[in-house]
Amino acid sequence: MTSLLTLHDYAAEASRRLSPPVWDFIEGGQGDERSLRANREAFERATVVPRVLTGTAEPETGTRILGADWAVPFAIAPTAFHAMVHPDGERATARGAAALPVPYVVSTMASVPFADIAAVAGGPLWLQLYAFADRGVTRHVIGQAEAAGMGALMLTVDAPRLARRLRDLRRDFRLPPGIRAVNLPDADLVSPGEHSRRAFAPALDWGELAWLRSVTELPLLVKGVAAAEDAALAVAHGVDGIVVSNHGGRQFSAAPATLDLLPAVVDRVAGAVPVLLDGGIRGGSDVLVALDRGADAVLVGRPVLHGLAVGGAGGVRGVLDLLAEELSEAMLMAGRPRVRPAPARSPVPSPA
């Protein structure tokens, strides 16, 4: 569709196609949604100083994360219940990602079996993991991920439970009939928030990482890090990667924008492990802004759901192709020949 020229165009079209309760479930944030707005506002303030005469003709968008080659420095963020958005659910998302290919982080709350998603995936496939009060459930989910050939676990650490989201409360949101978290033993949950209060481990500490290491050999990332001090502790506890995230503004309305937090985390980690960012990415220049501030890669969530709503696998591919095209152009205009290493942000001395 020639009218779909930006990710905002996909969002506008998706809003027309989805029911109001599903749209609000996707788009809403916690409380007064301050953190949700802050994520986007941080990118709208951000700039990248272009370099000139760098000899850049065709920027190299590829990178390498946890030993795997990525065609682009972005991946699909974990989001739940894709079958609410399109009948093929996460299968369609995985098919759309396979073309580039783009890595895909599958949600614990996926509405399609992990094995079915893996069967159509074309790039790195990771699992986002919630920690459950019953560790048998956590072990069950990990076992399914391993059986499906997923390459890493991404433990969400900013969600002792799902927060109060006013849009959902006002609509008394319930999952539509037939939509289930099929990879959980207790798959017939109706309210995600109520389920989280009953099932999630509410008092996680750093010992959870040691326990996960004891039950799986998969690389382990932590998602939901905000403070540089916590990033340092995560590295000290042996994680393989860090995701600077505020859950897309869905957990704590007073949390800062992730882009504003990123430089301090990158400085503290000092290259020990990859640092990824999510929250607020709505174009290729946003990806470049995050790279410029030290991220190794970013995760993209809501725009992928918008593409899925608009055109299934083809819509997902359209969103990802557009993001890749915009990133390549942004790198060209900024004089950035490759993703890594990031250019120094200090002033360049005058030639002698």
Let me know if residue 46 belongs to a domain. Answer: yes
Give the model's pLDDT for residue 297: 98
Span 171-194, average pLDDT? 80
Q: What six digits make up the tokens of 219?
A: 């690389």
Give the model's pLDDT for residue 347: 38
* Distance between CA atoms of residues 350 and 352, nearest Å: 6
Residues ≥6 apart with Cβ < 8 Å to 336? 51, 54, 56, 59, 288, 291, 330, 343
Percent pLDDT > 90 in the chain is 81
Let me know if residue 340 belongs to a domain. Answer: no
Residues ≥6 apart with Cβ < 8 Å to 328? 58, 59, 61, 284
Listed residue (208, 221, 199) closest to 77, CA to CA: 221
Give the model's pLDDT for residue 343: 58
Q: What six digits make up the tokens of 47?
A: 């700039």
Binding residues for glyoxylate: 165, 247, 250
* Distance between CA atoms of residues 326 and 45, nearest Å: 18
* Distance between CA atoms of residues 257 and 262, nearest Å: 9
The pLDDT tens digits of the residues spanning 116-153 come to: 999 999 999 999 999 888 899 999 999 999 999 999 99
Percent pLDDT > 70 in the chain is 91
Binding residues for FMN: 78-80, 107, 128, 130, 156, 223, 245, 278-282, 301-302
Any idea which of 7-21, 159-173, 273-287 has the lowest mean pLDDT?
159-173
- Using CB atoms within 10 A of its CB, is residue 153 exposed (0-12), middle (13-18) or buried (19+)? buried
Let me know if residue 213 belongs to a domain. Answer: yes
- Given a contact cutoff of 8 angstroms between Cβ atoms, the answer to whether 252 and 30 are in contact is yes
Let me know if residue 350 belongs to a domain. Answer: no
Please report, for the domain that includes residue 239, its CATH number. Answer: 3.20.20.70
Say whether 140 is catalytic: no
Span 272-280, average pLDDT? 98
Let me know if residue 347 belongs to a domain. Answer: no
Confidence check: pLDDT of 199 > 90: no
User: 258 - beta bridge partners?
Assistant: none
Binding residues: 78-80, 107, 128, 130, 156, 165, 223, 245, 247, 250, 278-282, 301-302
What is the count of structural domains for the chain?
A: 1
Give the model's pLDDT for residue 352: 40
Let me know if residue 341 belongs to a domain. Answer: no
Span 180-199, average pLDDT? 71
The model's confidence at residue 252, banded by pLDDT at 50, 70 and 90, is confident
- Given a contact cutoff of 8 angstroms between Cβ atoms, the answer to whether 189 and 121 are in contact is no
Domain extent for 34: 7-334
User: 298 - beta bridge partners?
Assistant: 74, 277
Let me know if residue 344 belongs to a domain. Answer: no
Distance of alpha carbon 103 from the chain centroid: 10
Let me know if residue 2 belongs to a domain. Answer: no
Active-site option among 82, 86, 247, 306: 247
Give the model's pLDDT for residue 201: 66
